[in-house]
Amino acid sequence: MVLGLNGELKRKVLVKKIKKITNLTLAGRNPFKNHGIVNPPIYRTSTVLFENTKELGEAIKNRFNRTYYGRYGTPTTFALEEGIAQIENGYKTIATSSGMSSISISLLSFLSKNDHCLISDCTYYPTKKFASKILSKFGVYVDFYDPKNLDSIKKKINKKTKLIFMESPASLTFEIEDISEIIKIAKKRKIITMIDNSWATPLYFSPIKKGIDISILAATKYISGHADTMLGLITTKNEKLFLKIKDTAVSLGDCPGPQECYLGLRGLRTLSARLENHRSSALKLARLLENNDKVLKVLHPALPKNENYDLYCKFFSGSTGLFSFILKETSKIKIYKMVDKLKIFKLGFSWGGYESLILPVFPKSERKIAKWNEKGVLLRIHVGLEDVDDLINDLFNAFKL
């Protein structure tokens, strides 16, 4: 392979010694096997040719680990997968066409008829909907747990429980799960653990080092970082998990385009600089909101007053740009009028790009177990890379804070 370096002992020794931030700039590329060019090329293909029938035979046997056919990935896909696997401390990564396809492919890889799975009730709603509407159609028992109540997880586990799916923090209300305790519960019973790690990214939390089996990233968000790419990444702890998920992805026909993989890999190069900026601006804004009389509550786990703060400190080495807050004002009409006055913060789904976003959200209707009882409109914001003083002025003017 043109780009692959994983097999080289020298490289492995180097990777162990260097820090993660440096590795973000090195992982998944090898300029001197590529005409000295800094970034890997975008390989486009459907067909891969074999020199003779012997090589064809070998390719069939080894199809999940080499160029084989376009749907199985190109060297551009492999460069991204190799880079992410190193940052995530995983065995191997599988790139998919979106964050949501990474989630559905991972769940489908392990769940069969009559299996029971547990999903945090605070998880990204499309994940919950996929489980309750589609997995259940195929005879999987889908159950939701309250991430703040370990006893409720223990009580729900039965002999058929195959998988626990976490999201920490939850991306609307920012509950942090006691991941180590959940892993302990799962390991005793040989239950597979998965986590949606899109908020923290592997830079601020390493799920696999903590003992989680599968770490999922909506690379659409911080990894690509420019609101111009749909991409998902699944990193596995070992070969067995990798082969199972790769087989499912290929069978379902999911494959990200090489252009998307290139953009994901390019995003990785600047992830540490971008995240540091998102982190500090978001914290500055969150602290100001927390000390303002017109604000009822700020849901940011890195604020010491937040109920998730201790768990945040236990697991995360940094926070990012996404958090929520609730105003004391409860009139939806009045709040919507204020939102419409914003000039820099724009209304829109998603997050993780360079630009600031705001979204009124209503967790109450999405929750079955972890009931949401806060009155007032929850406003979720993504703090982008603009000058933080401009962002503060924009928000404080529009909301008359």
Asked if 234 touches ligand PLP (CB under 6 A), the answer is: no
* 221 tagged catalytic: yes
Annotated catalytic residue: which of 196, 213, 254, 394? 196
Check: CB of residue 221 under 8 Å from CB of residue 87: no
Given 27, 107, 117, 230, the residue binding ligand PLP (CB under 6 A): 230
Instruction: Supply the angle between the helices 75-87 and 258-290 in degrees, to the nearest 10.
Output: 30
124 catalytic, yes or no? yes
Question: Residue 198, interface with ligand PLP (CB under 6 A)?
Answer: yes
Structure tokens belonging to residue 236? 């596995």
User: d(Cα 268, Cα 79) in Å, to the nearest integer?
Assistant: 12
CA separation for the pair 393, 146 (Å, rounded)? 37
What gap in Å lies between CA 135 and CA 391, rounded to an integer?
A: 42
Under rule CB under 6 A, residue 220 binds ligand PLP = yes
Decide if 367 is catalytic.
no
The reply on whether position 217 binds ligand PLP by CB under 6 A is no
Site for ligand PLP in 149-178 (CB under 6 A): 167, 171
Dihedral, CA of residue 129, residue 133, residue 136 and residue 141, to nearest 10? 40
Q: What's the rounded Cα separation, in Å, for the pair 170 and 154?
A: 20
Binding mask 109-148 for ligand PLP (x = CB under 6 A): ---------------x------------------------
Q: Determine the distance from the C-alpha atom of residue 102 to the mean position of all C-alpha atoms in its chain, rounded to a whole number.
A: 9
Residue 96 in contact with ligand PLP, rule: CB under 6 A: no
Q: Which residues contact 92 (CB under 8 A, 6 or more apart)?
A: 81, 85, 235, 236, 239, 242
Identified binder of ligand PLP from the candidate list 146, 196, 260, 394, rule CB under 6 A = 196
Structure tokens at 145: 């747990």
Instruction: Mark residues 343-372: x for contact with ligand PLP by CB under 6 A, - for none.
Output: -------x----------------------
Catalytic-residue membership of 314: no
Binding of residue 306 to ligand PLP (CB under 6 A): no
Strands 141-145 and 322-327: unpaired
Cβ distance to ligand PLP smaller for residue 174 or 399:
174
Residues acting as catalytic residues: 71, 124, 196, 221
Contact residues for ligand PLP (CB under 6 A)?
Answer: 98-100, 124, 167, 171, 196, 198, 218, 220-221, 230, 232, 350
